[in-house]
Amino acid sequence: MPRIFFLDTGRLHQETYDVLQQLRRHYGVAIEVYCPAAEAVEALVRRDGPNGFYEGLDQRRACCAVRKVEPLRRALRGADAWITGLRRDQAPTRRDLRTFELDAVHGGLLKINPLLDWEHPRTLAYVRHHGVPVNALHDQGFPSIGCAPCTRPVQPGEDLRAGRWWWEQPEHKECGLHVKRPVATATGGAFR
């Protein structure tokens, strides 16, 4: 049976929570919400401070591991496959992805990327044509949205994910959800 899940990192923009509610109402579907373990967040903040992720790649990856990667692991428990919204045009780290992959990081699950070859204009046209609820931040210059302290609007001429972890190099702009192998600091929908 297909399930839809949402990873609530505890640091998201209010507009992200607003669109979650809109999606529930618009489609009349249940959306499972997965949050980070409170003890893990407390330990992370005690060690690095509330914004320690700005201090280095290892600290940022540790934050993402606690707030995103571990909740995703729980969300995928018992699943045979998961579907993502990844697109090649989003980042250099996504150019070599395939539509169907075995996700070794998440136990060999089938990972399906049906939008992989869609480009940003096609995605926007589809959303508008079909009345899909969208995050209000998209109209404020945020083509890619993550946690509030790690996301800023992009400037003219910047790539679509330039606003994510803007202080890092493009090859490091993945949080650990979509990597081929586990990140050293690291500890869509799914089908059961």
- Reported as a single tens digit per residue, the pLDDT across 175-192 is 777 766 654 443 344 433
Exposure string for 164-177, b = 16+ CB within 10 A, e = fewer: bbeeeeeeebbbbb
> What distance in Å separates the CA atoms of residue 161 and residue 11, rounded to the nearest whole number?
18
CA quadruple 8, 9, 14, 16: dihedral positive or negative?
negative
Residue 42: burial class (beta carbons within 10 Å; 0-12, 13-18, 19+):
exposed
CA atoms within 13 A on the CB side of 114: 6
Q: Please identify which of the residues 64, 147, 150, 175 carries the catalytic annotation.
A: 175
Domain ranges of the chain: 2-191
Q: Mean pLDDT across the chain, nearest whole number?
A: 89
Predicted structure pTM score: 0.87
- The CATH class, in words, for 2-191 is alpha beta
Rg of the chain taking only CA atoms, in angstroms: 16
The verdict on whether 63 is a catalytic residue reads no
- Reported as a single tens digit per residue, the pLDDT across 155-172 is 998 888 889 888 888 777
> What distance in Å separates the CA atoms of residue 152 and residue 49, rounded to the nearest whole number?
21
Residue 113: burial class (beta carbons within 10 Å; 0-12, 13-18, 19+):
buried
- Reported as a single tens digit per residue, the pLDDT across 76-122 is 999 999 999 999 888 777 888 899 999 988 889 999 999 999 998 99
**24, 31 Cβ separation under 8 angstroms:** yes
Kindly give the pairing relationship between strand 32-34 and strand 2-7. parallel
Closest residue by Cα to residue 84 from 56, 57, 105: 105
Residue 130: burial class (beta carbons within 10 Å; 0-12, 13-18, 19+):
exposed
